[in-house]
Structure 1
Amino acid sequence: GRYVCVEMASQVKSPVSTETGEVGDASLVVPKAYDAMRQKNLLCDVVLEVQGRLFPAHRLVLAAASHFFFLMFTTDMKESACATVELKQVEPEVVEQLIEYIYTKRISVNMSNVQSMLLAADMFLMDPVKVTCVAFLKGHLNASNCLGMSTLADLTHSSELATIAEKYVLRCFSQVIKSDEFLELDVTRLTSLLQKDKVVVSAEEEVYTAALAWLKHDLSNRQRFLADVLSCVRFPLMSRTFLSNTVHAEPLVQNDAECLRMVINGMRYHMLLRERCRDLAEMSRPRCVRRMPLIAMLKGSVPSLFHFFNPKNSTWTCSSSTFGTRLNAAVVYCDGLVYILGGSSFTSPMKSITCYSIQQDHQFSRSGLPTPCDSLAACVAQGNIYVSGGVTREDGRILDFLYCFNTKTNSWQTQPNMLKARCCHRSVEVDGLIYVCGGLTCNGRSRVVTNKCEVYDPSTQQWRVLCPMTHPRKDHGLVVVKDRIYAIGGEGQRGKKTCSGQQF
C-alpha cells in the first residue's frame, strides 16, 4: 500500500549539513577516486542487477557502507562468489541513489521516493540513510498520512518515527478519522487504535461516529466485524440523549443482538449508581477528552436550573439533567465532574453529594458529608475536595471542621479544625495551600461578618493566620488568577451589599 502521500518534492540533505547534504558519519568516508573509477567501470568486481538494469561497483566499498553487503561478500553465501548479484524487492532508481550515496555521501529524498528509500535503507542496513528519511518524514507528518507513516515505521523498524506518528494519531484523532487512510485501515489496526485510552476526543460520540464510518465504507465486507469494532466504543461515556436517539436508532445496531446489549449496558450505567456498575468499569474508563472551556451556573435556590456558558462563542446551554432543590450548597469541579456538596432543603440540612458529568450529561450520588450542613465552603487541592465550616440547621451552630474527600476511594478523612468557626465563607487553593477567607462567625452570642483569613497546608496539616481582608464580607466570590486571590462582592456588616473587590 501507499504509506506517504505524494504532495511535493524537495531536496533533503543530512541533518549535519543543510547546504551540501553530507551525512556526518566518518566511518563512510570513501576516497573520491573510488567514485571516479566506478563511473568508468575500472576495477569493479561486482555488478548489481535490479530489474534488468546493471550497476557496476566495488565489493570493498559496498561492504564498508552496508552491513548487508558486508555479510553477503564475507560469508559462505553464494553471492560472495558471483560476479553479478540480483537484488529483488527494490526499485532500480532507489538502488542507483543508494550507490551514489555510498560513493559520494549525498542523497536526494522527496515525497516520491522517501518510502522506497526508507524500505531499501532498512533492507541494506544503512542507518545514516534511514536517519535522513525519518527526519524528512517527521517534517511532513500530517493528519492525512500519519497512519501510513506509522505502518511504514513498523515495516522498517524505525522506532523514533513509530513513536512520533502514534502520538500524532492519538493527539489529532478528530482530523485523522476524516482521512482516506483511516477508512482503509485493516480491522486489526482499527480496533487497536479505538481501544487506546490516550485517544484525544471531544466526546466518546466521536469514536462511535468514526467506527461507524469505517464499517459503512465497505459494509458488504466489513459487516461481519460489526460487534468487534463497536466493542471498542465506550458506550457508558456517551450522553443518554445520544445513546437513545442516535445509537439505538442505528439499523446496524438494532439488527445485531450483541451490539444492542452493549448499548443497553451503556444506558444501564446512566440509570444506576456507579458502585452498582462494576462490571462496566473497563468500558467506562475515561479517555483523554479535549474539554471545552465551560462555566457552569446554578441558580441559588433552584439548582435544577443548570446552565453552561461557553466563553469562546458567548453562548448558553441548558443541561437536560434535573437536580433536587437545595439551598446554600458548595460547588466544585474535579476530574471532569461537578460536585454539589451539602446545602439544605426547605426543611433540613443535607449530607448528600450530587456529581454531574458534563461530558455524559449524567448525574449520580457519592458518599455524603460526615456532618449535614449548609453555607459551607469547598475547593479542590491535589485531586481531593476539602470542605470547611458551615452551619447546622437544627441548632444554628457554626462549624469549624475541615474534611478531605478522596474522589478515588469515595471516602472522607477528618483534618485539623479551622482556627475560627465560620459559615458563608469561601475557600480556594493556590500552590497546594488552602486559603479560607471571610464569612460569618460568632462573637459571643451575636454573629458578625468577618474579614479574617487563614491558610491550611495539607502536607503538614497545619493552620496559620493570614492577614485580614480590608473589608469584612460573606457570600462573596473568591477566585484565583495568576497566583493572586481576588475577593469580589458579597455582603458586609448590617447586610449591606458590596460590589467592591480586593486582591491578595
Structure 2
Amino acid sequence: MSSLVHSKSISVRGSFDAELFDETHASDVLHSLHRNKKFCDVTIHTDDAEFPVHKCIVGSTSGFFDRLFSENGNNSKDIRVTDVTSSIMRVIIDYVYTSTLNVTDENVYSLFAAAKHLQIRKIKRHCMQYLLSDLVPKQYIQVHEKAKKLSLFELGEKIEQLISDKLSTDRNSLQHVPSNDFTKILELRNKSFVSEEDTYVAIVDWVKFDYTKRSKLFKDIFQNLDIHLFSRQFLKEVVLNEELVRTCNSCLNVVVDELAKGISSPKTNSRKSTSKEVSPSFVVSTKEGTLHKFDITNASWSDIHKKEFPRKETILTFHEKLVYVIGGVDTDGLPSNAVSCIDVTSVGSGWHDVTSMHVKRRHCGAAFFDGKMFVVGGIGVDGDDLSSSEVYDPETGKWKRIKNMNIPRSHPSLVACAGRLYALAGNRNDEKLQSVDCYDPETESWSLVASIPLSKLYGPSAVQIGGAIYLIATIGLHASLEALKFDPANNSWSQLTSYNLPYLYTSSCAVGGKVYMIDKWRKGDEIAIYDPQEDDWTTIIPQRKLGHRVRVSMAI
C-alpha cells in the first residue's frame, strides 16, 4: 500500500508546478454560497424582508454581528435588526459575499449610518470618501447637518476640518458661499486647525467679494471672532487699519478695548491676581461642573464657580493659577474638543475658551509637563478608546499632534515625572489595563515600561512626589485603598500600606508632599491622605459636604 507525500522539496515535476494556487477560489465559494443559499445557519430579519446568511461569514465582517453571535453562544437562528432597512441590508449582504458595494447618491447616507450601526469599517470609509469627493464649500453645511441628524460624527468632524483648512489656506473658495451658510461655517471651524487671525482675513475677503450686499453683515459676523486670541501687533497693524472695522463703531470699540487692557489673554497664563493666596489647598469639579476649593488647614470647602459647566465627563488640570477643563461631552451628549480655563485666584473671574484640541474626546488624561499641557487617550466620537496624543503650548495658543500611545486607553492617569510623561492604567474595550505608556520628549516617542503589578484596578489615580509616582486604586467595588510606588530610575513597582476605607473611584492630587484623595462618587464628605515618608494613612472630615458627586480629577 503506497502513500502520497507532498513536500516543498518536490514542488516541481518537470515544467509543472505541483503547488496549486487558485486566486479566485475564495471569492467563487462565497459567490456560490450567496447565490445558492446553502448551509445558512441564521436568518437576519429587517422591516419587511429576511436574509438567510452564514454566521461565520457575516460575523467576520461586522463587529455588531460578531458580538451578537458570540453573546448568544452561536445558537440563535433568527436575528432581528430594526435600525436598517431591507434595501440597505441587501446592499450590505451583497458586499459581504461579493466584495462589491453599490453606493448611490440616494443610499449613501443610509448606508453610512447602517455601516456605523453594524460596525463595518470599510463601508463607512468608502461612504465617507464618496460623500467628500468633489464636495464644494457651498455643500458643507448641508452635509454637516445631515451628518449630525444621523449621528455620523466622523463625517461631521471631517467637514469641520475641511472648513478650517479652507479658512486657513484656500479662502477664495469660500467667496461664493451664501450669507447664512458662511455664518454657520464660521461656527463650525476648529480653532486648533485655523487661527482667529486667518479667520478674520477670510471674513474680510468674503465681505469684499460682494461688498454692497455683505458689508452690512460684517458687524454680526465679527462677533464670531475671539479677538483676545489676536496678537497685539495684528490688532494694531491689520485690524485697526481695515475700513470695515473703522466704519463699524461696535467693532472698533471691541478692538480698542482689547488693546487698552494692556494684559495678556488667558492663553499666555499671565493674568494677574488681586486676591490673596490660600495655601495649602486643592480644587475639585463636581459632576455638575461646579468648582470648589478645599482649604486643608481649616478642613473647609469654598465655592469658586457655582454655575454649572456646560460640558460633562471632562478632565481637570492645573497650571499657574489656571484650572483647565478639557474635552468631555457637550449639551447634545457628543464628545467635545473644547478647552476652557478659569483663574481660581481672581475674584469674579469667569471661564475663557482656549484653542480647541485636534481630537474630540471624553474621559481622557491630561497633565502639564515642561510648561505645556499634554492630553492623551479618552473615548472618541465613535465610542472607541483612543491612542492619540496632543500637546498645547500656552505661549502660542496652539495644539500640536504627537505620536500615538502604544495602547489605546480611556480614563488614563497622566503624570509627569523625572523628565518623562507616564500614562497609567485606564480602560480598553471595558477591560481594565495594567500597562503603562511612557513618553520621552527628547525622542518624541512612547514606550511601554513595567506594568502595574495589581489587576482589575478600579478608578486608579496617580501623582508625582519626589521623583516617584504614587498610584492609588481599589481592587473591586467599595474595596480598601491600595497604594503602589513606581520608581522610574529602576523601572520597578513596590506595594505600599493599604487603607481599609471603602472607596469606589479615586481622584487624587499631591499637596505638600502628601497624596490627597476623594471618592469621585461621594460628596466630598471624607478625604483620605497618604504620607509617603511615613507610609501611613489619615483622614479629614470636612466641615460640610459639597452636596454633589465629585466626578472629575483634582488640581492642586
Greater per-residue strand proportion: 2
TM-score range, shorter chain: 0.3 to 0.5
Instruction: Give the number of the structure whose alpha-carbon radius of gyration is greater.
Output: 1
What's the TM-score, normalizing by structure 2? 0.37
Q: Which has the higher contact order (CA 8 A, sep 6+)?
A: 2
